[in-house]
Structure 1
Amino acid sequence: MVGGPLLQAACFDNYKLVEIIVTKVPSSIYYHHENGKNILHVAVENRSNNVFKFVSQMNQHSHHLVTSIDSSNNTMLHLAGKLSEENELKKTFGAALNMQEELRWFED
């Protein structure tokens, strides 16, 4: 099963690996974790900008992925509105820089 590695690649913004997996196994784009999160949920939650852009450009799949709801009734927009994980925020120092990083993700 390629779904686990696909979502792991999305976590780490490895869009090249995502592209390889999706090209070899097109149906893998619809894989979702047991918590109901699909590749776009994972990309947004982990601020994986390159994976998000790659998957979003796949017009034939984007509507289904964007409108999907995870097991906590979160859409992609709910996850985008949440703060980044603490380890991501610790990369920058200070509240102003953290806010700037969150705004950068939102604007992309």
Structure 2
Amino acid sequence: CNKLWNASRFALMNTEGAAFTGVPTPRTDAERWILARLAAVSSEAQGHYANYRFDLLAQCLYEFAWNEFCDWFLELSKPALNGADAADAESTRHTLLYVLEALLRLL
């Protein structure tokens, strides 16, 4: 819980006042990677829901949230968020919120 809380705080702190809709168009490799992983995890999660395998569902979402979103994507997003390229920063903000919302909905 604490890790998701901190990830949410980080996302909200870096996207304050932003209003995005729809699926983001990735501009960086990190964004392309996390969106591809989100699609794979979403598909896997839907299968686990359909088969009532909540143990596998929990493991799948835990590994994505902790090992990929929090440990990797949040760290990879920091240079883009703080960099000089405003378009990359805006795209990363959109992706950050999109993936966080999708993850929370899957949970």
Whose helix proportion is higher, 1 or 2? 2
Could you say which structure has the greater relative contact order, defined with CA pairs below 8 angstroms and 6 or more residues apart? Answer: 2
Task: Give the TM interval when normalised to the shorter protein.
Answer: 0.3 to 0.5
What TM-score do you get using the length of structure 2 for normalisation?
0.35
* TM-score calculated relative to the size of structure 1: 0.35
